[in-house]
A = this chain, B = another copy of it.
Amino acid sequence: MAKTTTHQKAAAVRQRGVTMSDVARHAGVSRTAVSFVLSNRENASISEETRIRINDAVQALGYRPNAGARALASQRSDWYGLVTEIVTAPFAVDIIKGAQDQAWLDHRFLLIAPSDQADAVGPNQGLEDAATEKLLEQRVEGLLYAATYHRGVHVPESAHEVPTVLINCFDADGKLPSIVPDERAGGRVAVDRLLRAGHSRIGVINLDPHIPAAIGRLEGAREALAGAGLELDPELVVSGHATADGGYEAACQILDRYPQQDRPTALFCLNDRMAMGAYDAIKERGLTIPGDIAVIGFDNQELIAAYLRPKLTTVALPFEKMGALGVQTLAALTAGQPITADQQLVDCPLLERSSV
């Protein structure tokens, strides 16, 4: 009696407790059969008829497998955890998109946890550790760490308990595999584009020269120039704060430093925000883009690049691809496959618009 009461109460409280047994009962078969059909196993041996009966029962009852129970019993969750500060500083959201789409394709679920590792390597790992811990409690099969900008990071200790891949950042301790943009090739592509348009005197508006993005892109620029038998004039490289204002000031410096005939005819801005400022500096001086000065950016920040007038030709960071590749790499790792390289470089494609 007491037992019955308990059951009824539970049933009343539960929103929708259709279990495999219910399906089996409704289809007039055994639980075993249902389990076989639903996870359509190899060593099947289920007649087409019962298979259909079971599927019908699933439909009729609106049965939904319980992911948690399945994970518990089968000891695999099909979940990956993604720790990222991107949600906080949504510059690289496309990483999430790429990762999520890929995970979806692989029938895996991405658990996204926030990180506040606002910047760099420092042990500001309060939230980050907690996030990792929470994800491991959910028994994720692997971890991804994604950063808003390309840099070295330290990952919490516990991340080493499961396969882990870094996206748009790399392990400062050099132990974990990572996916990063090929900044160098990107810089080369940008400057090549300018060279191809006939420019040979090219000003460069640089970022903080110590970050990987600046180092790689500048190196690429040098290579491209070298390919054309030219050298990068150090005088034409001006660093600025990575904002529109910074770009504006840097552009003013470059433009005002020389008489007209010596003035560079093109500017390579190491990010789009600075290109935005450079536009203003150029226009202010009554010069036209790309007529008098060609401008090429980097990052392909849609809101800027596609809406500047004229629209900005720029090199895109392959966020989406990196996200997808991260998940693929993780999938390989969790499947026990060895991965080839610890650092995978992803191409930065040129986006032609109208500023060159």
Contacts and interface: CB of A to CB of B under 8 A. Distances in A.
B114 A112 contact: no
**Interface residue tally on A, bucketed by range:** 35 or more
Contacts of A100: 87, 112, 114
Contacts of A244: 307-309
Interface string A129-141: 0000110111100
Contact of A304 (B137, B139, B307): B307
Contact of A90 (B90, B162, B273, B277): B90
Contacts of A138: 67-68, 109
A276 B307 contact: yes
A65 B72 CA distance: 12
Contacts of A137: 64-67
B15 A161 contact: yes
A253 interface: no
A269 to B, nearest CB: 13
Interface in A71-101: 71-72, 75, 77, 87-88, 90, 93-94, 96-97, 100-101
A141 to B, nearest CB: 9
**Chain B CB within 10 A, most for which of A244, A303, A304:** A303
Nearest to A112: B112
A164 interface: no
Contact of A114 (B15, B66, B101): B101
A307 B248 CA distance: 11
A16 interface: yes
Interface in A276-310: 276-277, 280, 283, 301, 303-304, 307-309
A175 interface: no
Nearest to A247: B307
Given A68-B138, A68-B139, A104-B114, 13 more contacts: A64-B133, A66-B139, A67-B137, A68-B69, A68-B71, A72-B72, A87-B96, A90-B90, A90-B93, A109-B134, A111-B111, A248-B309, A303-B304
The 8 closest A-B pairs by CB, nearest first: A244-B307, A90-B93, A68-B68, A303-B303, A67-B137, A67-B138, A68-B71, A87-B97
30 contacts: A14-B75, A16-B161, A64-B136, A64-B137, A65-B137, A67-B68, A67-B138, A68-B69, A68-B72, A68-B77, A72-B72, A87-B96, A90-B90, A90-B93, A90-B97, A93-B93, A97-B114, A100-B114, A109-B134, A109-B138, A110-B112, A243-B307, A244-B307, A244-B309, A273-B303, A276-B307, A277-B309, A280-B309, A283-B283, A301-B303
